[in-house]
Structure 1
Amino acid sequence: MTNVFFYLVVGVLSVAFALRVPRLLRHWRDPLVRSVSLLLPLGAAVFFFAAPPTIAQVNTLTGIANFSAPLVYCIVTVASAALIHLTITWRGGPEDRRQAATRWCVGAYAVVCAGQLTLFALGDAPDERLRDFDTYYATTPYLREMIVLSLLAYGAAIGVLGRLCWRWSREVTGLLRTGLILIVTGAVLGLGYVACKLLAIGARWAGHDWDGVSTALAPNVSFVASLCQCVGFVLPSVGQGLTGWWRRWSQYRRLRPLWLTMREVTPYELVRIPWWSSLGRRHLRRTCDIRDGLRLLSPRTDRDARQGSQGHTTRPGAVRPEAARHVSMVTTALRTMSGTHPDGADGHLESMLAGDDDELVRLSEALRVLAVPRPGSDHTPGSPAVPQTAVIGGPHPDSPPAHAGRAER
């Protein structure tokens, strides 16, 4: 692996962390958000301090030959503990059980870090090694123990991570299962990285030179393993976010016919929001406008629904007289959704005002079907057309709405 790959991974992880900073600041109390946000800079730190140019610079600044070795080992150990902690938090479960597992993980890996620093202080490493520290000092007292301890601690963390994710992947489906499988793949490759390092060290103990396995093959395996794990951790959250965004956008678009109708029956000017507002804010504003309009129309739609299909003239009320055809559209759509029972429209209206947005979408879809213009009708773009059978009173169904010129917010 060349130096470019080390810093490329650092750049990718740093950008991913920067994108998550706003969410981290908004949801700092969420343990899952904190765990993911902590893991990204730790992963970037591992590859940054493991790059040969950084190793040489750190050794020069500290004035201690090979000081980067225990530094990188400690960062890898902390990142390994963070991986296990993230998996524990991600999986969930009883709070006391998660806290006990977290305390065990933090305590065990804190002891490993202390042991690494102590063994390095006891050992003797006068010759600076930028790429082959593991194999060069594989037979040096105390340093060989530090190297083996670090590899075993990392291997244990990867093994626990892979085992937990594999068991969990058999219980879930969808993007979460795909992400877990990727994490398990990365864990297997991580164990392969540990095996390459131990194989090269064992060869040194036996008097052979297999340093290429440690200096050439192992870093490439580690790079692929880290990539699989990063994608595995990010995929479920990104996929869930994209799914939620698409669902909200679909609802926002499908609510347009009902929202346009509410614009015509509301006697006051609806609140405008800036065009650059987020989709979430625009969706909330649209649903609020619709619910306010339906509350305003509830006495009239109830009365019209009880009178069934018998024609009558719309009486003066809370809405503008020129909006009577839109009131009739809502009443007809409610009757269509509720069946032929006179009380069905009122029941549907109450459930929509108290329920989620799916009912509003159903009403909007019903309005859209009713608003299909008849052949030869002079339909005004941007406002729903009304079939002749849907009109109970008011202006001619083909006349333009009173406020058709208002631009959508």
Structure 2
Amino acid sequence: MSLVVYMASFLLALAAILLRRPRRTPRSPLSIATRATAFIAAVCFFWSAPVTLAAVNHATGIPNIGAPLTYVSISALSCSLIILLIHWRGGPKERIRRMTRMTVAVYGTLIIAIVVLFALADAHTERLTDLDTYYANTPYMREMITLYLMGHLASTIVLSAVCLKWARDEVTGLLRLGLRLILAGLLLDALGFTLAKVTAVVARWLGYDLDFLSTSVAPPAASLGALIYSVGFVLPRLASAAAAERESVAIYRALKPLWCAVKDVATAPPVAEPTWWQPWRLWPSSRLYLLEANIRDALLQLTAYFDQRVGHTAYAAAVRRGERQDRARIDSEKAMIIDGIRRATGKEGSPADPPEKFRVTVDLVELANAVHRLREAAPEQVRTQ
């Protein structure tokens, strides 16, 4: 059983790693909640493995100390799932913060109660796989077990109700698939884990033995259910990230002509390319960030070749065409940069009159397109001469 649980823990931890975004990307509450949920789920399954429980009990010298750790992690997972759903649904920021604080308060109280009840209980006989049913009638342990099961069941009901409501709305694509996966995983978790555990514990209260539901049915059902609804939460997130990476690829390709035009005349070495042992820096968004940084650095190094007279001429021409002032300034900046590149490569011999201050404000893709058009027009001009 430990192998199955460890496999679920590994896959969830891997999901948390893969959801890592580049450092330059602004952190969003949804991204943080998604990674936190995947990480807490991985920790939850790691703690619940019998091998881990035995190791923790032995290391601390406290029999069954692994049980409250597992129940606390399960309660934390229930809390994080609700918080993730709150952020996934969106809405006014104040409402999101209020509901998040309320959820943390409720499950924080539940976690404290679990710890206190275990400290008060008499549970000196180590049980690694059947603790719930073995101590089902033990004072304080009975209340602790009931509390964590009810807390987990409550989160499952809330999540299922909200997802079912969303599924009835007009949602399409990966969001609909994600909702269906979440519902399937929650259904498996509710029936296979929570209901099985509750049935086994209640059977003990009534004097019956249905321990196999708790020891043989619940753990694999919980592992499979968690994997399914975790995929449901993560899939739309990965889809949006993939769309952003595709956009980064398109922008990267559009900027290549501009980089080819300035890289040979830049004096400072470019920012180092990412290495294979930093896989997150190999993502298109990270490579685009490095390319943009290299281009901006190169343009600032070319300031000495810029001629503000060219900029003034381009600005006046844009104004005469009826362009707005901000658009005319951009045209002026583009003209100075393109002229500066020509001067730096020796294609323009007259002395430059550089501006005292210069800051790159023009859109780099727009500038790259202008450079590309200029390079395509150059051979035609040569042939007509």
TM over 0.5: same fold? yes
Are residues 284 and 184 of structure 1, via their aligned partners in 2, closer, same or farther at CA, if it must alter by over 3 Å? farther
Matched, 1:245 2:245: yes
Q: Residue 222 of structure 1: CA displacement?
A: 0.6
Q: Residue 156 of structure 1: CA displacement?
A: 0.8
Aligned residue for 2:383, secondary structure, equals: coil
Are residues 59 and 236 of structure 1, via their aligned partners in 2, closer, same or farther at CA, if it must alter by over 3 Å? same
Residue 158 of structure 2 corresponds to 160
CA distance in 1, matches of 2:26, 2:54: 36
CA distance in 2, matches of 1:100, 1:50: 31
- Counterparts of 1:262-341 in structure 2, within 5 Å, are 273=270, 276=273, 278-282=287-291
Contact 2:271 2:293 in 1 (8 A): no
CA distance in 1, matches of 2:198, 2:37: 26
Q: Residue 361 of structure 1: CA displacement?
A: 8.5
Greater helix content: 2
CA distance in 2, matches of 1:240, 1:217: 36
CA distance in 1, matches of 2:108, 2:222: 23
Residue 181 of structure 1 corresponds to 180
The amino acid that maps onto 1:137 is Y
Q: Residue 177 of structure 1: CA displacement?
A: 3.5
Are residues 361 and 168 of structure 1, via their aligned partners in 2, closer, same or farther at CA, if it must alter by over 3 Å? farther
Are residues 274 and 142 of structure 1, via their aligned partners in 2, closer, same or farther at CA, if it must alter by over 3 Å? closer
Contact 1:256 1:364 in 2 (8 A): no
CA distance in 2, matches of 1:300, 1:115: 72
Residue 218 of structure 1 corresponds to 218
Q: Identify which range, 121-130 or 28-37, moves more after superposition.
A: 28-37
TM-score, with length taken from structure 2: 0.69
Are residues 271 and 397 of structure 1, via their aligned partners in 2, closer, same or farther at CA, if it must alter by over 3 Å? farther
Any idea what the Cα deviations from partners look like across 1:366-403, whole Å, max 9, x if unmatched? x5xxx9xxxxxxxxxxx758886xx4xxx2269xxxxx
Superposition RMSD in Å:
4.1
Residue 138 of structure 1 corresponds to 136
TM-score, with length taken from structure 1: 0.66
Any idea what the Cα deviations from partners look like across 1:320-363, whole Å, max 9, x if unmatched? 79979xxxxxxxxxxxxxxxxxxxxxxxxxxxx96794x67987
Residue 126 of structure 1 corresponds to 124
Residue 205 of structure 1 corresponds to 205
Residue 83 of structure 1 corresponds to 81
CA distance in 2, matches of 1:363, 1:212: 72
- Counterparts of 1:22-33 in structure 2, within 5 Å, are 23=22, 30-33=28-31
Q: Residue 230 of structure 1: CA displacement?
A: 2.4
Q: Residue 221 of structure 1: CA displacement?
A: 0.9
The amino acid that maps onto 1:276 is E
CA distance in 2, matches of 1:116, 1:269: 63
Q: Which has the larger radius of gyration?
A: 1
CA distance in 1, matches of 2:116, 2:124: 17
Query: Of 47, 52, 55, which aligns to 1:54?
Result: 52
Q: Residue 219 of structure 1: CA displacement?
A: 0.9
Residue 3 of structure 1 corresponds to 2
Contact 2:255 2:364 in 1 (8 A): no
The amino acid that maps onto 1:126 is H
Aligned residue for 1:396, secondary structure, equals: helix
Are residues 70 and 269 of structure 1, via their aligned partners in 2, closer, same or farther at CA, if it must alter by over 3 Å? closer
Are residues 301 and 258 of structure 1, via their aligned partners in 2, closer, same or farther at CA, if it must alter by over 3 Å? farther
CA distance in 2, matches of 1:254, 1:30: 28
- Counterparts of 1:359-370 in structure 2, within 5 Å, are none
Gapped regions of structure 1 (runs ≥ 5): 307-316, 325-352, 372-382, 399-409
Are residues 128 and 20 of structure 1, via their aligned partners in 2, closer, same or farther at CA, if it must alter by over 3 Å? same
Any idea what the Cα deviations from partners look like across 1:165-214, whole Å, max 9, x if unmatched? 34345354333343333223222222122111112223333433222222
CA distance in 1, matches of 2:184, 2:75: 20
Gapped regions of structure 2 (runs ≥ 5): 275-286, 321-338, 349-360
Contact 1:251 1:361 in 2 (8 A): no
Are residues 322 and 101 of structure 1, via their aligned partners in 2, closer, same or farther at CA, if it must alter by over 3 Å? closer
The amino acid that maps onto 1:116 is I
Residue 111 of structure 1 corresponds to 109
The amino acid that maps onto 1:64 is I
Residue 354 of structure 2 corresponds to none
CA distance in 1, matches of 2:270, 2:25: 26
Contact 1:179 1:232 in 2 (8 A): yes
Q: Residue 3 of structure 1: CA displacement?
A: 1.3
CA distance in 2, matches of 1:239, 1:21: 14
Q: Residue 61 of structure 1: CA displacement?
A: 3.0
Are residues 364 and 178 of structure 1, via their aligned partners in 2, closer, same or farther at CA, if it must alter by over 3 Å? farther
Contact 2:75 2:151 in 1 (8 A): yes
Residue 401 of structure 1 corresponds to none
Contact 1:385 1:397 in 2 (8 A): no
Are residues 93 and 114 of structure 1, via their aligned partners in 2, closer, same or farther at CA, if it must alter by over 3 Å? same
Give the aligned length: 332
Matched, 1:396 2:383: yes
Q: Residue 51 of structure 1: CA displacement?
A: 0.9
> Percent of counterpart pairs with the same letter?
35
Residue 229 of structure 1 corresponds to 229
CA distance in 2, matches of 1:13, 1:197: 23
Aligned residue for 1:139, secondary structure, equals: coil
Q: Residue 155 of structure 1: CA displacement?
A: 1.1
The amino acid that maps onto 1:155 is L
Any idea what the Cα deviations from partners look like across 1:24-60, whole Å, max 9, x if unmatched? x666864334323432332222112111112122222
